[in-house]
Amino acid sequence: MGLIKYLIGEEPSIFEKLAFNIKHNSDVGAYGEYLTQYLFNSVRFKGYYKTLQNIYVPYKDSTSEIDVLVAHKKGIYVIESKNYSGWIFGSDNQQQWTQMLNKNTKERFYNPIRQNKTHIKALSEYLQIDSSKMKSYIVFSERCELKRVPENTDRYAITKRNYLLDLINKDIADKQDIFTNEEIDEIARKLEPLTNVSQEIKEKHIEDIEKKYKSQ
């Protein structure tokens, strides 16, 4: 744990990390999402905003799960967390990306740009807010190396977790306010119930995802 990051609120204490991992049975994916959301406690992140995690947005008779969302006066930032190690390869138009752990071990995963694009579409429809006010961030662990991935655009950014705040702060600095404090509160109010869904909804979400990927 970096002492400076802890002191400025960007990283939890060792006791907070331990408590989280005990509660979540050392779920690597959940831990990555936790660390990503925790970044926004930082004193370096300015302005009025709300953060939410694991939002199950209704979409096409199923749900679309957003890992982390930041509703800020400058825009809505939809974050897909990938707590992966190894080398990462992928392009904008590929269906599957590759995680290479060593020369003999490769894993495939669904294109996170497309994945988060669906999340944003679902969110836009649910909130009745134009998707132009939202931006996609694909966030990988510091433990990986982004060997060949697309360049960042005005619609999405791909980064490692330790660079996320710098990228979003740069984006915020270049924009005018588009939401009021009251509108941010209303967005959070509408989405909060979607973070506390039943186990049945969570299980159906997993089943739907597995069916979708098997058919591709």
What are the residue ranges spanned by the domains of the chain?
Answer: 27-85+112-214
Structure-block tokens of residue 60? 């096409």
Q: What is the pTM of this model?
A: 0.92
pLDDT reported for residue 214:
56
User: What local confidence, expressed as pLDDT, does residue 166 receive?
Assistant: 96
pLDDT reported for residue 4: 85
| Mean pLDDT value across residues 3-19 | 89
* Residues 122-149, mean pLDDT to the nearest whole number: 97
CB count, 10 Å around CB of 121? 16
**Domain 27-85+112-214 has what CATH class?**
alpha beta
Strand ranges of the sheet holding 156-160, from the earlier edge strand across to the other edge: 49-59, 62-72, 75-82, 134-140, 156-160
Confidence band, pLDDT 50/70/90 cuts, at residue 212:
low
CB 11 within 8 A of CB 5: yes
CB atoms within 10 A of CB 166: 11
Q: How far is CA 108 from CA 29, 84, 91, 119, in A?
A: 16, 12, 13, 20
Q: For residue 181, what are its two tokens?
A: 């404090």
- pLDDT of 202 higher than 90: no
Tokens 């988060």 locate to 116
Residues 6+ apart with CB under 8 A from 59: 118, 121, 122, 125, 126
Q: Between 128 and 62, whose confidence is greater?
A: 128
How does pLDDT run across 27-82, given as a tens digit for each residue? Answer: 999 999 999 999 999 999 999 999 999 999 999 888 999 999 999 999 999 999 99
